[in-house]
Amino acid sequence: MNIEEAIRTRRTIGRVKKDPVDRDVIEKLLDAATWAPSHHNTQPWSFIVMTGEGRAKLAEGYARVSAAAVPGLTGQPLEERLAKERVKAYRAPVVIAAVCSPPGDPRAVPAEELAAAHAAVQNLLLAAHANGLGAIWRSGDPMYHPLMKETFGLAADEQFVGFIYIGYPDMKAPEPHRTPASAKTVWLER
């Protein structure tokens, strides 16, 4: 598959099979991620790969964030809510937490470090697609909550940029809907 084909045919795949993904394949995706561009070559990304019971850490993070949102809730209603949140961590056999981990280069601009980490995720998604895997880049309020960051022991200057759920597709890829580049482009010539 060439790069243009990969870009045009990659889709968000939210339903994947429970089948495990070989570690060699996951390492291949991570390697592709590390080839993203970064200003001053800071390479401000790191990854936390969760498989099997390793996903319990993410389940704990989801539960902690959810419990904090309803401090007065107790007993069975609380337990039901937390169980519903914990299940989210097990929607795919592999979950990769992508983290912006700036190395502290004084020339680096924080927004550019974050952009580079996002580019690494795009590389990872394209590599997953090229290797026959489905993936979805998840984020949302729980990812940005201080308790999620604390659950994973992130440093003060680190932040999550996505939870990427990966597995073998268990759904048909949705049809693409894209606005043509010409509708979003201004040409300045001469």
Binding residues for FMN are: 10-12, 39, 137-139
CB neighbours of residue 36 within 10 Å: 19
Binding region:
10-12, 39, 137-139
Distance, CA of 170 to CA of 17 (rounded, Å): 5
Among 101, 7, 1, smallest CA distance to 48 is for 101
Secondary-structure percent of the chain, ordered helix, strand, coil, rounded to 5: 50, 15, 35
Identify whether the C-beta of residue 174 lies closer than 8 Å to the C-beta of residue 11.
yes
